[in-house]
Amino acid sequence: MKKLQLLFLGIILFSGCNTPKEEAIQSSKIDQEIETIGPEKGTLIITGDRIYGIFKDKFLELIGGADAPIIVIPTAGSSEVLSDEFLENYKQSFINLGFNNVTVLHTRDPEEANKDEFIEPIKNAVGVIFGGGRQWRHADSYLNTKTHDELIKLLDRGGVIAGGSAGATILGSYLTRGDTKGNTEMMGDHEVGLGFISNIAIDQHLLARNRQFDMFEILDNRPELLGIGLDENTGIIVHGDKFKVVGKSYVAIYDGTRWSQERDTIYQLPEGSREYYLLKAGDEYNLRKRKVITFDDREFIQLTEIQLKKYTGTYQLRDDSMKVEILIENGSINVFQNWDKHKYLILPESNTRFFIINSDMSFNFEINDNGEINRFLVSSQNGIWEKIIE
């Protein structure tokens, strides 16, 4: 295991410093008037299956903690299971996950979803979670109702809406697998989602169910759409017009291009191509530009040597002997690997995230309540590097 960790980090750090090739990045063929746009102020958490683990933790962080009022919506579930007893157990399941202020919102009647008393809890909520099942049931109940309007207002005031599985697909504009007869029809009798992201089709359970080529059935007919496929235990955090991949597997992107990370190049695909590319944890994407965010797209900040000093020190990979030293040279901060004696310049994008020069590999520092930095995580790596306190 130690050898694997060493090789994994060493190869990634080394390959991340290759000089970009000088091929031109062509613009998408999609009409520039057709934009894919996320919520301007709020945040979406969109996952390939249930909201749990790191997604639950991120949701809790964004809403401000366990006491924040949230809404959970199980409407996509089958009619047979949505009894009063089920709804009470559904609420309890979120309480068991650590949420202290939970309201279950459910109806199959759009007239009910138009009533002021029904939408009142949303006005006081800071977060909403859409559950799994069949996404067309969410659409039948809430699309173009006062509930729908109030959810948009929640995002406009900086709230958080999350969805997993069917709850992921409903958040987009095109309702992938929205057929009442079954979930294998990509273009069904329901084609409109809640549209919290415009001009997008979202699929889920991607690699786990071997669905990675199904998206082309939609794009052949609706080429203006951006296609995104989420595998299980994987998702995206959307804020503004950008998203970041989180989780253990991959997110498939169908945008008419193929991105090669090794070559640092985006290739325009010919019309009718059946190619897509995968993003992993830590990768970021610009929805409006329909383009993966690379090192050259980033804007870095200037930090003084005094500000940089708190990052310096020797860090050790938890449960391992591997060490790196973070040091300042000529007013810049560098990472020195003890096992191969390689040194890499890292540049600050923010006070907590630094990127290796000419790479998409990031060092994500955690600041404690005292303003101190005692550890960091490397993107695409599960290990935690802890500062050695002498």
In a domain, 18, yes or no: no
With a cut of 50, list the residues of the chain below it in pLDDT: 1-32
Residues 91 and 182 placed together within one structural domain of the fold? yes
Residue type, 198: S
49 lies in a domain?
Answer: yes
CA distance 377 to 363: 6
Q: Using CA atoms, how far apart are residues 48 and 247, in angstroms rounded to an integer?
A: 10
Q: What is the pLDDT of residue 33?
A: 63
| Residue 348 and residue 287 share a domain | no
Note whether residue 124 is domain-resident.
Answer: yes
Q: Which of 272, 293, 314 corresponds to the end of one domain?
A: 293
Residue 162 lies in a domain: yes
pLDDT of residue 26: 34
pLDDT for the residue numbered 81: 64
**How far is C-alpha 295 from the chain's CA centre?**
19
Domain boundary among 271, 293, 315: 293
Q: Indicate if 111 and 237 belong to the same structural domain.
A: yes
Q: Which residues have a Cβ under 8 Å from the Cβ of 273 and sit 6 or more positions away? A: 256
Whether 251 and 331 map to the same domain: the answer is no
Q: Report the pLDDT value the prediction gives residue 25, as an integer from 0 to 100.
A: 32
CA dist 192 and 174 (Å) reads: 5
Question: 178 near 188, Cβ under 8 Å?
Answer: yes
Look up residue 285 and give its amino acid. Answer: Y
Check whether residue 338 and residue 260 sit in a common domain: no
Q: For residues 229-255, b (16+ Cβ closer than 10 Å) or e, as one string?
A: bbbbbbbbbbbebbbbbbbebbbbbbb
Q: How many domains does the chain have?
A: 2
**Is 376 a domain residue?**
yes
- Kindly state whether residues 100 and 247 are assigned to the same domain: yes
Q: Running DSSP on this structure, what letter comes out for residue 206?
A: T
Do 252 and 338 share a domain, yes or no? Answer: no
Question: Is the domain of 354 the same as that of 279?
Answer: no
Per 3-state DSSP, the chain is made up of helix, strand and coil in percentages (nearest 5) of 20, 30, 50
- Tens digit of each residue's pLDDT (9 = 90 or more) over 191-217: 999 999 999 999 999 999 999 999 999
Domain that holds residue 104: 43-293
The pLDDT of residue 30 is: 42
CATH number (domain holding residue 306)? 2.40.128.50
Same domain assignment for residues 378 and 246: no
Domain boundary among 293, 310, 335: 293
Is residue 28 included in any domain, yes or no? no
In a domain, 372, yes or no: yes
- Structure confidence at residue 80 (pLDDT): 65
